[in-house]
Amino acid sequence: MSDETADAATGETDARLRAVIDEYMGAFEPDPEDSAGLRERILRLVRDDAVLAPSTRLLSERGNPFRITTATVREIVRAAVDAVDGIRARSVTVTPSGEPEGSTADVGLTVAMRAGVEFVPAAEEVRRAIARDLDAELGIPANRIDITAEDVFVSEDADTDAAGSRAAGSEEAADD
C-alpha cells in the first residue's frame, strides 16, 4: 500500500475516531485551582533562584561600596523607560563607571517603539527619565546613556497589519 493510500484509509478512521479523541481531550482540561498552585510553585522556585543572581558593584553617595543584584538595577531603569509612552525597555546593561569606579553608572539600553512614535524626542525623554530615576531611586548619577531602538510594535487599534497576516495563515500546512 502506498503512503498516500494508507493515509487516506487511516484518514477515514481518524474521522470516526474524532469523537473518541475529542472525549479524551476533554477529560484533561486543567483545573484552574490546580493550575494556580502549579503557577505559584514555579514562581517561588524562580524567585529563590533569583536570590543567587549576579551583582553589580557600586558606591553610595557617601562612598560606601555595596553590591546590588544586577536584575534590581535593571528593573529601576526599565521602570523609568516603560513609563515613557510608546517605548518598551528590552535589554538593559548597567556598568559601574567614574572615579572611583562605581560612583557613576553607564547605561546601555535597547527598546521597542510603537509605530508612529518619533524616535529622537522619545529617546530624549527616556534619557531624562533614566537619569532622574537612577539618581532618585538608586542614588547614583548616570554618566552615559546609550539607547538603541531595535524593533517596532503596532498597537491594537492600528493592527490591520496583524489581521492580514493571520488571514493569510502563511505557515499552516494543508496535509491532514
Residues between 110 and 129 with contacts to other proteins, criterion CB under 8 A: 110, 112, 114-115, 119-120, 123, 127-128
Is the Cβ of residue 28 or residue 99 nearer to other proteins in the bound state? 28
Q: How far is the CB of 134 from other proteins (least distance, A)?
A: 9
Q: Is 88 in the site for other proteins (CB under 8 A)?
A: yes
Number of residues near other proteins (by CB under 8 A): 102
Q: How far is the CB of 160 from other proteins (least distance, A)?
A: 11
Q: How far is CA 96 from the centre of its chain?
A: 24
Phi, psi at 141, each rounded to 5°: -75, 145
Distance CA 93, CA 30 (A): 39
Q: How far is CA 175 from the centre of its chain?
A: 34
Query: What grid cell was written down for 132?
Result: 532622574
Per-residue x/- mask for other proteins, residues 49 to 78, rule CB under 8 A? xxxxx-x----xxx-x-xxxxxxx-xxx-x
Is the Cβ of residue 35 or residue 100 nearer to other proteins in the bound state? 35
Q: Is 8 in the site for other proteins (CB under 8 A)?
A: no
Identify the residue among 2, 5, 46, 99 touching other proteins (CB under 8 A).
46
Per-residue x/- mask for other proteins, residues 131 to 150, rule CB under 8 A? xx--xxxxxxxxxxxxxxxx
* Secondary structure (DSSP) of 17-43: HHHHHHHHHHTTPPPHHHHHHHHHHHH
Phi, psi at 14, each rounded to 5°: -55, -45
Per-residue x/- mask for other proteins, residues 147 to 176, rule CB under 8 A? xxxxxxxxxx--x-xx--xx---xxxx-xx
Question: What distances in angstroms separate CA 89 from CA 68, 115, 126, 127, one per listed residue?
Answer: 20, 15, 10, 12
Identify the residue among 2, 5, 25, 99 touching other proteins (CB under 8 A).
25
Neighbour-count burial of 155, counting CB atoms closer than 10 A to its CB (0-12 exposed, 13-18 middle, 19+ buried): exposed
